[in-house]
């Protein structure tokens, strides 16, 4: 470890850099070189206790929840500027640790900026108080911050995912503890520096990188009122059950297996510019990726003739080099997982149209971008989230069947419908049970409500709907008139 970088000696607890309770450190390994890049301190349960106590005190007694929403909005604006001021450090650091190409890292961080800017004006759109009248009575409906919030995020876009939670939580007047994943936590410590520089009152935010067990301790903590989690459906299920023990509020943003439905009338050159990258972006490690492509049976070969050359021409390589479109997947276990699904797909009888191997690289956790054709909806590769650059092309015989296939998984996060007639496309989109769906395009729109149907999650993030996840509603009843 002597020639590697020590990013931080301390943890960010209650707005201050504090010596950790143990000397445990998280080693960060490069997915490109497979060498240790450096380390950050690992939080333990005693650090969680300190952070929850600080957040509790700041919520119960401090100024933050008592400031006006507009005053908090000004702080949000300052945080956004401080975050953006650190892009030169954050963007390459995320690329180095996770292997996402620089352009992707830039786009993720730009999303983070948008979330802070959006949070700065949320109070102008949200209703924190309103008069209510009913038969025989009148009163006030007030929306109050839910309390101490624990946020847990994965590694695939940490600053953006953290901002999507912390910005509305702070705008609501909550206090927050962030637990980033042990893979690639450095940029979240840079986010902590930005929060510190913007000047939040004592106790309001903590950032504690740690693993799963410490995460369970945090979500089970009696001092935590609300949990906002992004990650796998398996972990979400566990976290929801832990929250259930004490009826803690919970928002879940989980996995996906999103479908693109291509109608029979639309030329492929109107489809592929958005469809193709939506399958392999960030090596497929995006929850909303379009990993199932549903195509009329008679158009499958036409689609493959157009899509395979795109996949085969992708610049795969070092994500730190400008122009690279596909880097490695983030971790060795992630590559093992993707490769095991490629084997499963072959055994299930799907046909590899391209990819399926490791590219010729000396080092790094690379997987060739892979297209399976002739996939049936009952196959595991059509049902389970792979989280790698692997898409399944599923032929269908009617739009009704396509809708049934699109709805035929446990997930419902994103999707797309491609049809020449946008009215027909909208009618199809309305039948797909999913949180966001594009017409003749695909986008993860994070400044509008984002979240999942079914096992893709619970609740919404983004905009006033996301703010609502951090508010409780109280009716104050006035005494009867005279």
Asked if residues 350 and 372 have their Cβ atoms less than 8 Å apart, the reply is: yes
Hey, how many other C-beta atoms are within 10 angstroms of the C-beta on 381?
A: 25
Residue 297 to residue 374: CA distance in whole angstroms: 9
Name the catalytic one among 42, 96, 97, 253.
253
255 binds ligand NAD, rule: CB under 6 A: yes
Q: In what order do the strands lie in the sheet with 457-458?
A: 16-18, 11-13, 205-207, 175-179, 148-152, 226-230, 249-253, 457-458
CB of 139 to ligand NAD, least distance (A): 37
Nearer to ligand NAD by C-beta: 17 or 453?
Answer: 453
Q: Residue 287 catalytic?
A: yes
Given candidates 38, 101, 154, 345, which one binds ligand NAD under the rule CB under 6 A? 154
Nearest of 284, 179, 186 to residue 239 by alpha carbon: 179
The length of the chain is 482
Beta strands in 254-375 (DSSP E): 258-262, 290-296, 351-354, 370-373
CB of 153 to ligand NAD, least distance (A): 6
Beta strands in 135-239 (DSSP E): 137-145, 148-152, 175-179, 205-207, 226-230
207 binds ligand NAD, rule: CB under 6 A: no
CB of 423 to ligand NAD, least distance (A): 29
# residues near ligand NAD by CB under 6 A: 29
Q: What is the x/- site pattern for ligand NAD, positions 94-133, by CB under 6 A?
A: ----------------------------------------
Residue 247 to residue 267: CA distance in whole angstroms: 51
Given candidates 14, 31, 173, 215, which one binds ligand NAD under the rule CB under 6 A? 215
Nearest of 138, 151, 182 to residue 41 by alpha carbon: 182
Given candidates 11, 120, 150, 181, which one binds ligand NAD under the rule CB under 6 A? 181
Name the catalytic one among 174, 193, 287, 385.
287
Residue 43 to residue 20: CA distance in whole angstroms: 7
465 binds ligand NAD, rule: CB under 6 A: no
CB of 155 to ligand NAD, least distance (A): 5
389 binds ligand NAD, rule: CB under 6 A: no
CB of 38 to ligand NAD, least distance (A): 19
In the bound state, the residue with its beta carbon closest to ligand NAD is 215
235 binds ligand NAD, rule: CB under 6 A: yes
Phi, psi (deg, nearest 5) at residue 294: -100, 120
Q: Which stretch binds ligand NAD (CB under 6 A): 54-62, 121-129, 229-237, 276-284?
A: 229-237
Q: Which stretch binds ligand NAD (CB under 6 A): 73-81, 143-151, 212-220, 266-274?
A: 212-220
Q: Which stretch binds ligand NAD (CB under 6 A): 6-14, 207-215, 311-319, 388-396?
A: 207-215
Would you say the C-alpha torsion 299, 264, 384, 97 has a positive or negative sign?
positive
Beta strands in 83-155 (DSSP E): 129-134, 137-145, 148-152
Residue 258 to residue 270: CA distance in whole angstroms: 19
Q: What is the x/- site pattern for ligand NAD, positions 393-422, by CB under 6 A?
A: --------------------x---------
List residues with catalytic annotation: 253, 287
Site of interaction with ligand NAD (CB under 6 A): 152-156, 161, 179, 181, 211-212, 215-216, 219, 230-232, 235, 238-239, 253-256, 287, 385, 387, 413, 452, 457
């Amino acid at each position: 470890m002597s020639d590697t970088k020590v990013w931080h000696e301390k943890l960010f607890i209650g707005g201050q850099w504090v010596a950790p309770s143990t000397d445990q450190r998280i080693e960060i390994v490069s997915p490109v070189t497979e060498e240790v890049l450096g380390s950050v301190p690992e939080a333990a349960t005693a650090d969680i206790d300190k952070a929850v106590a600080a957040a509790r005190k700041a919520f119960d007694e401090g100024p933050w929840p008592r400031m006006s929403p507009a005053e908090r909005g000004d702080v949000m604006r300052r945080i956004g500027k401080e975050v953006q001021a650190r892009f030169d450090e954050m963007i390459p650091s995320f690329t180095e640790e996770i292997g996402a190409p620089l352009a992707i890292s830039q786009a993720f961080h730009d999303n983070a900026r948008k979330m802070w800017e959006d949070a700065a004006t949320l109070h102008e759109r949200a209703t924190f108080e309103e008069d209510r009248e009913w038969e025989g009575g009148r009163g006030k409906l007030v929306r109050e911050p839910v309390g101490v919030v624990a946020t847990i995020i994965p590694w695939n876009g940490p600053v953006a995912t953290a901002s999507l939670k912390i910005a509305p939580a702070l705008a609501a007047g909550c206090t927050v503890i962030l637990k980033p994943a042990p893979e690639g936590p450095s940029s979240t410590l840079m986010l902590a520096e930005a929060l510190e520089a913007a000047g939040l009152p004592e106790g309001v935010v903590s950032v504690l990188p740690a693993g799963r067990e410490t995460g369970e301790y945090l979500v089970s903590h009696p001092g935590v009122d609300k949990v906002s989690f992004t990650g796998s459906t398996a972990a979400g299920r566990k976290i929801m059950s832990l929250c259930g023990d004490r009826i803690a509020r919970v928002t879940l943003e989980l996995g996906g297996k999103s479908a693109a439905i291509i109608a029979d009338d639309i030329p492929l050159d109107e489809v592929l510019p958005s469809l193709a990258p939506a399958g392999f972006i960030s090596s497929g490690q995006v929850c909303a990726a379009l990993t199932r492509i549903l195509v009329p049976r008679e158009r499958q070969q036409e689609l493959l003739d157009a899509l395979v050359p795109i996949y085969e021409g992708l610049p795969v390589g070092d994500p730190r080099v400008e122009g690279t479109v596909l880097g490695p997947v983030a971790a060795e276990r992630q590559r093992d997982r993707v490769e095991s699904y490629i084997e499963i797909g072959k055994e299930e009888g799907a046909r590899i149209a391209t990819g399926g191997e490791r590219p010729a690289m000396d080092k790094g956790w690379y997987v060739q971008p892979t297209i399976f054709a002739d996939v049936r909806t009952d196959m595991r590769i059509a049902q389970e989230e792979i989280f790698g650059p692997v898409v399944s092309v599923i032929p269908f015989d009617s739009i009704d069947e396509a809708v049934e296939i699109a709805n035929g998984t446990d997930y419902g996060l994103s999707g797309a419908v491609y049809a020449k007639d946008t009215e027909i496309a909208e009618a199809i989109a309305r039948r797909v049970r999913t949180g966001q769906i594009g017409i003749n395009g695909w986008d993860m729109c994070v400044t509008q409500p984002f979240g999942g149907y079914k096992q893709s999650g619970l609740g919404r993030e983004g905009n006033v709907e996301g703010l609502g996840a951090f508010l409780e509603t109280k009716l104050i009843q006035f005494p009867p008139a005279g």
